[in-house]
Amino acid sequence: MDLVAGLTLTLDHVRDVVSKVPPDDWEQPTNCTPWTASMMLSHLLASQQLWVQTLTGEQLVEIGDVMSPGPLRGDASAETEAVIALATSTWSRPDVLATEYATPFGALTGAQSIVYPIIDALAHSWDLAVCAGLDPELAGELVAVGEAAVAVGVNDTTRGFGLFGAAVETPASASPTSKLMAKTGRARL
């Protein structure tokens, strides 16, 4: 899997979901209690910025902005677009995947780290879609990107950090998207 292309595809999906959330739904509760849709998007964007900060050393957000987000302060689409542009340009830099960085999980290369912004963006765009009553199903290529990222990034260590819940059992008839989200501890309520 081309990791940067996978993140770009994922962030394109985030952009699409955000553009479809009705204006009145930004204060709706999500499946991540007590976060509203606005707080969820604020978290998603701050998480992307935190990973950019890890790669560049430039102070963009505080950890509290990621773990205890407030509601989004500006226009959702404009804020999303700005963060996507920043993330894709940073992750596309030469040698970013081969370089080792100090991360919350210890020293990791960019290639090892990029799975976390992929998983975060996929999971939280799914959360937003479910909250807003949108179709949360991912296209096959996005499911493949998510499966590859989850296989690396969702484990006992990251669950221990509280990043993911315990895997949720799904019926054999569940969609590929539902099965993927279940691995991150998500199920439709």
For residue 188, pLDDT over 80 is answered with no
**Residue 27: what pLDDT?**
95
Rounded Cα distance, 99 and 109, in Å: 5
The residue type found at 107 is A
Q: Give the pLDDT mean for 107-116.
A: 96
**Residue 32: what pLDDT?**
87
- Give whole-number Cα distances, 52 to 37, 103, 112, in Å: 23, 11, 14
Rounded Cα distance, 120 and 100, in Å: 21
Residue with the bigger pLDDT between 29 and 105: it is 29
Pairing state of beta strands 100-103 and 106-109?
antiparallel
Rounded Cα distance, 1 and 5, in Å: 8
Residue with the bigger pLDDT between 155 and 101: it is 101
Residue among 108, 4, 117, 99 nearest 52 (CA): 117
Rounded Cα distance, 76 and 171, in Å: 35
To the question of pTM greater than 0.85 for the whole model, the response is yes
Both tokens of residue 25?
Answer: 């739904």
